[in-house]
Amino acid sequence: MSAIDYNEKIPNNVNLSEDRALQRALEHWQPNYLQWWQEMGPDGSQNFDVYLRTAINTTPEGWAQFGHVKMPDYRWGIFLNAPEADRRVNFGEHKGEAAWQEVPGEHRANLRRIIVTQGDTEPASVEQQRHLGLTCPSQYDLRNLFQINVEEGRHLWAMVYLLHKYFGRDGREEAEALLYRNSGSQDNPRILQAFNEETPDWLAFYMFTYFTDRDGKFQLCALAESGFDPLSRTCRFMLTEEAHHMFVGESGVSRTIQRTCEVMKQHNIEDPEQLRQLGVIDLPILQRYLNFHFSVTIDLFGADQSSNAATFYATGLKGRFEETKRDDDHQLKGDHYKILEVQGDKLVEREVPMLNALNEVLRDDYIKDSIAGIGRWNKVIEKAGLSFRLQAPHKAFNRHIGSFAGLRVSPQGQVISEAEWQTNVRQWLPTEEDRVYVASLMGRVVEPGKMANWIAPPPIGINRQPINFDYVRFN
Ligand SMILES: [Fe+2]
Ligand SMILES: [Fe+2]
């Protein structure tokens, strides 16, 4: 491995060749990464040539170079957005100071924790998705799955770069540990629960990339505001890639809905049982999957009141979504925010100090963004002349973190008894039969341009290629 020219092998804009210590650290880590990719990356895909987008720099032309590549040979690069001249810390107690180019000693432990937590989600999603290639609905979709997988790999590189470059020995140990935890593992699970859930089928994959990659977007946006400038610049570049992941989710669900509506119209039926006979995914199943992924994902924002969130903000480490576009003092000391709480059998609003409620602030911004896309899905149903509408469940529904944990709340936001929950939960969350039915549709379709019966073709191909382009060559 030592013969590899890493400056060649790892495209980067961080002057890797001039930093011997960093180069050595990455030389040590890279074979372990590749071994992880072989063992935990996309199942059975090592020899495929995949039409992938590779970033070779951060310019509009350079960040999206397309060509067929074997995934183990993908050039996972390290890119930071260009520095902003005279950038400042834009919020918290250090507001107005020059942005930090090195880790401030007193914030080191918190920063490391933030970076490790973000970094841990990246390989986790690759692990969660590793068997999906075996049941892809089309070559186009298979390619999109692999694109997301290699980019999540690159996001891991992005976080590992920060750990190696700025956190010395602790950072190197954390970088190793990122490869040893595994999604769903009993002994050594991933840090956040949503990243230990399975992504068993393609509907789950689209919901995951719509909802959970969008959590990624909001976390990255909050970290892009960080006073620690290398973290900010790293996250800004990651966000350019994240957009495609959410696109795959949104368009995947949209195409599924479109196909279902076509069959509903064509046969003039709405009954889920009859639709299942025709091999499409009925809208109530889509709603139950949506409820599951929405509720599991909003848990990722953490407890509604959190002293850690307050500390991360006050110390300038993690801002709010679009921090610098907001019109306030960016200190938030005397400010308040309304959170929901249970009182008896009612959810009531309560004002709490804004600094403690920053997880909730980010969660609420996320919810607004998520709901916009659900509206676009409903347009597809509306266009077909059908009355069904998908809805985001209430934010207290099916929660496991924060003040709603353990509470039974309906998707409409009524606090209910355990008995009522048990009576209705089969209408609200995917049942075993739903999962089995969706799994039964997941045959592998790889003939160029062909789609599985349950999903409509995309309106356009990748990088203006036709839909029947050979996105994956199986060799
Ligand atoms: Fe990512
Ligand atoms: Fe992503």
pLDDT tens figures, 445-455: 999 999 999 99
Distance of CA 155 from the midpoint of ligand 1 (Å):
5
pLDDT in tens, 271-284: 999 999 999 999 99
d(CA 89, CA 317): 9
The number of residues in the chain equals 475
Distance of CA 226 from the midpoint of ligand 2 (Å):
20
Distance of CA 58 from the midpoint of ligand 1 (Å):
17
Tokens of 181: 């935890």
Tokens of 91: 């919020």
Distance of CA 347 from the midpoint of ligand 2 (Å):
33
Give the count of domains, the chain: 1
Average pLDDT of the chain to the nearest whole number: 95
Handedness of CA 395, 397, 402, 408 (dihedral sign): positive
Has residue 2 been placed in a domain? no
Share of the chain above pLDDT 70, in %: 98
Distance of CA 341 from the midpoint of ligand 2 (Å):
32
The end-to-end CA distance of the chain, in Å, is: 26
Q: What is the pLDDT confidence band of residue 61, given thresholds at 50, 70 and 90?
A: confident
Has residue 451 been placed in a domain? yes
Q: What is the pLDDT confidence band of residue 211, given thresholds at 50, 70 and 90?
A: very high
Asked if 339 and 301 touch (Cβ cutoff 8 Å), the reply is no
User: Which strands make up the sheet holding 472-473, listed edge to edge?
Assistant: 65-70, 49-54, 472-473
Has residue 7 been placed in a domain? no
pLDDT in tens, 385-417: 999 999 999 999 999 999 999 899 999 999 999
* 171-to-2, 24, 82, 108, 188 alpha-carbon distances in Å: 21, 14, 24, 11, 19
Has residue 246 been placed in a domain? yes
pLDDT at 9 over 90: no
d(CA 263, CA 33): 45
Has residue 320 been placed in a domain? yes
Query: Which residue, 349, 362, 352, is CA-closest to 301?
Result: 362
d(CA 205, CA 408): 27
Residue-number span of the structural domain to which 33 is assigned: 16-473
Q: What is the pLDDT confidence band of residue 8, given thresholds at 50, 70 and 90?
A: low
Ligand closest to CA 246: 2
**Total Cβ atoms within 10 A of residue 123:** 28
pLDDT for 119: 98
Ligand closest to CA 118: 1
Tokens of 401: 């973190």
Distance of CA 366 from the midpoint of ligand 2 (Å):
15
For residues 163, 165, 169, 171, the Cα torsion angle rounded to the nearest 10 degrees is: 0
pLDDT for 1: 34
pLDDT at 309 over 70: yes
Q: At 317, which CATH number? A: 1.10.620.20
pLDDT for 55: 85
What amino acid is encoded at 77 in this protein?
G
d(CA 302, CA 289): 21
Has residue 6 been placed in a domain? no
For 427, the enclosing helix (H) or strand (E) is helix 418-428
Distance of CA 53 from the midpoint of ligand 1 (Å):
15
pLDDT for 62: 80
pLDDT at 63 over 70: yes
Distance of CA 291 from the midpoint of ligand 1 (Å):
22
Q: Residue-wise over 413-438: b if at least 16 C-beta within 10 A, else e?
A: eebbeeeeeeeeeeebbbeeebbebb
Query: Which residue, 402, 248, 371, 321, is CA-closest to 91?
Result: 321
Distance of CA 460 from the midpoint of ligand 1 (Å):
24
Ligand closest to CA 119: 1
Has residue 1 been placed in a domain? no
Tokens of 367: 């919810």
Ligand closest to CA 153: 1
Has residue 5 been placed in a domain? no
